[in-house]
Chain A
């Protein structure tokens, strides 16, 4: 199986889906001539032409709305947000138009659209460029929210997202684009709404997604050296949430830590915790703890930024706490 970067896995998925279905087009800032701000769309303009690889003005609201309108009448747009920080301008279109059209129209008009791009912090990009918004979108009925952590998942999930008949918010990671992994060639899809056990364990379940999968795996490795066996579950899709995989795991391990990059208040983890305590209260031996980003706008300073992020040490501390080992 070839080893690809996350970036190239996304590129491959886009290319394959555009080859497969003429209704699929890519639209966004710098996706064409510039080859993509993060080079995810490299080579696509050359292959598919300006009809299907469309550079836009810097108007997130506008081109998100164009995507919704095109989807309403049968196309399958992939709208690239240079980052999800800029997608804030398009939230009206995503929430008020895309997420509700099918319902408001009594099922007559759907919006099969993917809005994709990197989310969360990279390095020292400061407060306005370092935000994880998945919980915002996951809050909205009508949207699906997908966040792959590995190159293979990136390919399989993007292909499924493009084929999905619903608006899908597909959040990548700037820090993930260069990560490498084996990626199956050709037709390879992963169903949305299915979590993945990235590491098996027996003592505690660590639930995570996107960039925090690597954080959790690192923590699990260090915990193993202390004789603590941690299971790492990558949600992969935030909405619909694969509660079954999470619950089955926690029912076995009796302890759980939920890790996410975003802020604590009303984060994705809060939803996971809610599900666990409601469904398998009697299986719990400890309160479920959460490791999140600090409740601050992201500082520019490198050391402060490090403090603000979820890291393996914080995950380990939480795991030890739910195991009552300290």
Chain B
């Protein structure tokens, strides 16, 4: 495991790094406050359908996307609010999408599970477990086909690794040597089924051995560790044109979706409480304070700023208009000029 490389300690942090680190904390806080607000809006009936929160996994989105270039491609599962925000879709556009409004990043027609911003290379949240993994292989195929040095990355949960799409996609990526990074966010539960009740092997990273693919396990609650592992994977993809399976061990503090209890029958309250002690935000803010990059007050002020930004997004989403009725039939097919 590479997760122990980031022990805090008093040392001199150069200003640029400090700036980056503060930015990461801000991104993690943004995800946290955004998701809390989304949960509130869901319970008020302002958000419908399924809504899968990212609380507890913030360091994964922040640490991985920090390694990417703007022209890289990102595909994610339906628990993708965090990645969307980190990639740069505004809180207003994401919240409006959750509210189903025309100003949403998918025009209100995608919803929580289908956030898109093609201009940011954010190519969707996808709703079928594992179904989007081959898409990333396809994007990596296109990168190789065109001979550019982009990277295609894919987020999915540990439950997806048992299905055929995962194996087929990874096999082809390894076979054809494609610049793809498969990020398994192992949050221990596929809905209510624990990893060990679904997978014959415990270490998901080992699945890559079947395809002779590089792999790594990383502590997903430590943003610096995630970033370091991701840097290695990105370099492998960009320079060596080889794929990686990155297993990021994290934990979901909330239920599977808003309609699920936080623990329920499949895990104990105590287990959740225990995991909360390694809240990635607390871990990271603690590190920044310990390293003298930020003071506690600065963290609080940053948090307050983020809360206001999320409140603004909420008001924006609430006031935004529904899509016009004629939107119903738009974009089923491409416009008729070809």
Residues of A participating in the B interface, judged by any CB pair closer than 8 Å: 25, 51, 56-57, 59, 61-75, 77, 92-93, 96-97, 101-110, 112, 141-142, 144, 163-166
In B139-195, which residues have CB < 8 Å from any A CB? Answer: 139-143, 145-146, 152, 164-165, 167-169, 171-172, 175
Known: A101-B124, A142-B332; 12 extra A-B contacts, CB below 8 A, are: A62-B164, A62-B165, A63-B172, A65-B137, A69-B136, A70-B138, A73-B73, A104-B124, A105-B114, A107-B107, A108-B106, A110-B334
Query: What are the 9 A-B residue pairs with the smallest beta carbon separation, nearest first?
Result: A69-B138, A65-B134, A62-B168, A106-B107, A165-B334, A69-B135, A105-B116, A66-B138, A59-B168
Cβ of B9 < 8 Å from any Cβ of A? Answer: no
Q: Is there contact, CB below 8 Å, between B109 and A103?
A: yes
Given A70-B141, A104-B106, A61-B124 contact (CB < 8 Å): no
In the complex, what's the smallest C-beta–C-beta distance from A69 to chain B, in angstroms? 2
Kindly identify which residue among A73, A93, A106 contacts B106, using a CB–CB cutoff of 8 Å: A106
Interface centre among A74, A104, A142 (most CB of B within 10 A): A104
Query: CB distance A73 to B123 under 8 Å?
Result: yes
Residue of A nearest to B75 (CB): A69
Task: Specify the chain A residue showing the minimal Cβ separation from B154.
Answer: A69
For B135, the closest partner residue in chain A by CB is A69
Say yes or no for B198: interface residue by CB 8 A criterion.
no
Whole-angstrom distance from the CB of A108 to the nearest CB of chain B?
A: 4
* Closest B residue by C-beta to A71: B138
Please, which residue of chain B has its CB at the minimum distance from the CB of A62? B168
* Given A66-B137, A108-B117, residue A25 in contact with residue B124 (CB < 8 A): no
A83 to B73, CA, bound (A): 32
Q: Does any Cβ of A come within 8 Å of B338's Cβ? A: yes
Question: In whole angstroms, how far apart are the Cα atoms of A171 and B333 in the complex?
Answer: 19
Which of B116, B118, B146, B171 is A59 in contact with, Cβ under 8 Å? B171
User: In the bound complex, do residue A105 and residue B110 qualify as a contact, i.e. CB atoms below 8 Å apart?
Assistant: yes
Closest-by-CB residue of B relative to A67 is B138
Decide yes or no: A106 and B134 within 8 Å by CB, A59-B171, A69-B139, A72-B139 being known contacts: no
CB-CB < 8 A to A104: which residues of B?
A: 106, 109-110, 114, 116, 124
> Which of B135, B138, B146, B338 touches A164 (beta carbons < 8 Å)?
B338
Please count how many residues in chain B sit with their CB below 8 Å of the partner chain's CB atoms. Answer: 49
Complex Cα gap A72–B135 (Å): 8
Could you tell me if B333 and A69 are in contact, using CB atoms closer than 8 angstroms? no
Q: Which residue of A lies closest to B138 (CB)?
A: A69
| Cross-chain pairs A/B with CB under 8 angstroms, 28 sampled | A51-B145, A59-B172, A62-B134, A62-B168, A62-B171, A65-B133, A66-B135, A67-B138, A68-B138, A69-B136, A69-B152, A70-B145, A71-B138, A73-B139, A73-B143, A92-B128, A105-B106, A105-B116, A105-B118, A105-B123, A106-B104, A106-B107, A108-B119, A109-B116, A141-B332, A142-B332, A163-B338, A164-B334
Partner of A97, one of B105, B131, B164: B131
Inter-subunit contact A109/B118 (CB<8 Å) = yes
- The residue on B at minimum CB distance from A96 is B128
Contact of A107 among B132, B138, B330, B338 (CB under 8 A): B330
Q: How far is the CA of A104 from the CA of B139 in the complex (A)?
A: 18
A74 (CB) vs chain B CBs: closest residue = B142
Rounded to whole angstroms, the CA-CA distance of A63 and B168 in the bound complex is 8
- Docked pose: A109 CA to B138 CA in angstroms: 14
Query: Which residue on B lies nearest to A63, using beta carbons?
Result: B172
Closest CB of chain B to A244's CB: distance in Å?
16
Interface string of B281-301 (1 = CB under 8 A from A): 000000000000000000000
Question: What residues on B are CB-neighbors of A163 within 8 Å?
Answer: 338
| Contact B118 A108, beta carbon cutoff 8 Å | yes
Minimal beta-carbon separation of B81 from chain A (angstroms): 16
**Which residue of A64, A96, A103 contacts B127 across the interface (Cβ within 8 Å)?**
A96
C-alpha gap A51/B175 in the complex (Å): 14
B227 within 8 A of A: no
Report chain B residues within 8 Å CB of A164: 334, 338
| Cα distance, A59 to B138, chains bound together (Å) | 13
User: Shortest Cβ distance from A168 into chain B, in angstroms?
Assistant: 11
B126 within 8 A of A: yes
| B337 closest partner in A (C-beta) | A165
B168 touches A61 (CB 8 A): yes
